[in-house]
Chain A
Amino acid sequence: MPTVSVKRDLLFRALGRTYTDEEFDELCFEFGLELDEITSEKEIISKEQGNVKAQGASDVVLYKIDVPANRYDLLCLEGLVRGLQVFKERIKAPVYKRLMPNGKIQKLIITEETAKVRPFAVAAVLRNIKFTKDRYDSFIELQEKLHQNICRKRALVAIGTHDLDTLSGPFTYTAKRPSDIKFKPLNRTKEYTACELMKIYKTDNHLKHYLHIIENKPLYPVIYDSNGVVLSMPPIINGDHSKITVNTRNVFIECTGTDFTKAKIVLDIIVTMFSEYCEKQFTVEAAEVVFPNGKSHTFPELAYRKEMVRADLINKKVGIRETPENLAKLLTRMYLKSEVIGDGNQIEIEIPPTRADIIHACDIVEDAAIAYGYNNIQMTLPKTYTIANQFPLNKLTELLRHDMAAAGFTEALTFALCSQEDIADKLGLDISATKAVHISNPKTAEFQVARTTLLPGLLKTIAANRKMPLPLKLFEISDIVVKDSSRDVGAKNYRHLCAVYYNKNPGFEIIHGLLDRIMQLLDVHPGEDKGGYVIKASEGPTFFPGRCAEIFARGQSIGKLGVLHPDVITKFELTMPCSSLEINIEPFL
């Protein structure tokens, strides 16, 4: 969930009133926001870097507000204020207009070279805007928030904003060999080639995260003006030449990306949020984008869409009984201008360009419910009549674990993920023999594979509890995973039961006795016949030679028991003899 940090006093000034922290928290809760933290720049710096560094930092109170991940229109102070003011019916939702310029329209021409690296671009102009320090900071911060969220860390969309008065159109969006791109990047004093920049930014804590997006491409995207001035090399850096300042009056905005829909949404959000500060409030100057196929489109789209939803559908989905007129009012408070039309049961809802999150009637239903107030909805119980059933494997597991504890063994709960070493080397096995499922992106060795046996987890539990009085008697009934090409995903869980006995003597007879008890509980009698169980001498690197047996029940091998090999004991950092038992319980369902 993105967190937006706003100055409290600035927020209250914009809202036209003040709130206590509790009141504002309450308002947030009702609207689906969360007042996450009340802090200041000074407090943040002092927390992260110590009191010394924090000296002189601003102690202006900041509200950190958690915003739902799909509400891009609430990612800055301007949007939050507009949303809350409309919600509280203090203002009417502004109507955003795209205007054609008086003079020539700004043009962005896309060449076909971009197709393989970053094919889409959209653009718009904010004309006669008036920044202040706070507005400017908010403008920059909004771009950063959009980059981190909907733009997927600039992979899907990257935003460039430029001082239009320093440039001269038409603009060309193309892709070139990195060695052929040379310009002075933002906040640098000299020119570099793209190759040099990629090297320099490897150590830049902010920019290094974006390099991978184009690093291995033969051509890098770049935008020029008609004089060959570089506006930006998306998605990495803008040129220094056209950088905007507090004094910039005319802003050229370009969004490039690999996702056309998201590029259009991002452009709409930026211009709707900041056209508030244009001379003609809430108007945006159009720009023309010419695609490689020669077709041209005008942006921003600023599309208003109409949806029709029946009032009784909203009432039925929420569980309320409101008149269509009331519902229309509720929706209007959510920035969705609505009116009752037709037979008096139809509500026509206008979806503004700021609400790209509304893609289905269910999104409209939710907004009606939020405006109604979730906590005002009457709670009722559904009349759904059903008979409960347990999942048979879990039912058997529940029964068995109680009797395992009754037999004196204590239940462990170990991780399903572990290292290759745990399930192979440490047990004297080769990893290829385990049929283990391998994880491709583990952050540490602890998450290399899914376990194929419960034994390592139990041995590690003993190792972590060596100070406890002996004997230690542990068990676990849980799932292991092995590759299985007969399953749709190519892997299958098996429910295993594992038990270990750890003491000054190996206690094979105790583990053997436990097996006998388990079989008794499962109503399987000893004997070699089809319905019975028997153990037969076996071997394996995990066990001490001559102290291992395979368990057969109901005609199939279900596992092994035995005294662990001293090498296994040592590798798990244990010192005492240990015997173990591990079986698959699924044949007993």
Chain B
Amino acid sequence: MPASDQNSVELEEKVEELNNKLKTGGFTGSYDIANSTLRLLRKVIAGSKWNNARELMDRVKSVGKLIVASQRSETSVGNMVRRVLKLIREEYARCRGNPEGGDVQSESLHRMFTDNAKTEDYSVPILNVDFKAVVIEAVNEILIELENSADNIAMQALEHIHSDEVIMTAGRSRTVEKFLKQAARKRRFQVIVVECAPFYHGQELAWSLADAQIDTTVITDSAVFAIMSRVNKVIIGTHSVMANGGLKSINGSHTIALAAKYHSVPMIVCASMFKLSPVYLCSSDQAAFNKFVSPHSVLDFADEEGMPHLTSTDC
């Protein structure tokens, strides 16, 4: 049908666009990436042709694989895809109802052992309800939760930040910024921001906090240990949380954590749900661990001595 062709072409375009933006680094943070991915998946669910949950899940998986491959170090993409797949399974189970008549508790270990004869392949089409609408409704819920995630965390600020405290933070995390600004409405405290070379996002955060009338100091990365003894709490954001509870975060976080441990300063990490990832990164050689960009911010291209690896020019 012409309409579906047009749809699929449009979808392909959107996927291409997202891929390109990921590759060229057009996003400013993992929140934006998660948001765009979720909206794209919603479009895919609404726009593609599928008959049952299995086909839908395959479609979502294939699109997800494409996007994940564009930028492996962005784990929030994979997280969002997995969440959508999970909610499809849940909605499927709920709509089918439970044939045994028990409570729909979906997969628990107990059920896996007792019901080993029955393997769910999600291929039965749901006829009594409009499955598409149900799934899209659920995706919208996740979207709302995503958009409110930073605010939800900020609401707990007053429990953690007390008056006349010295808080250290690093880089520019949207979540932490909201967190601190929320607390500043009721409490007076002081913030020390580590600027975090080579991008110096910490300086931008400092400007923003100063505009909100928070007492802010900017320090260099090397001064972290020296200042740590005067800090009451360290609050940082993170890029993603690994399966073992480890963080993939802005450079310098490890140093800050070690200094905090030495001085027994409590450290709080503010992370939304979409940052929790089942990925387990144990070695810096893994593809998803680092994102390597051009050296132009560190080395001067014009300077010949900065090119160490070239063999001598008389060849």
* A, B assembled together: no
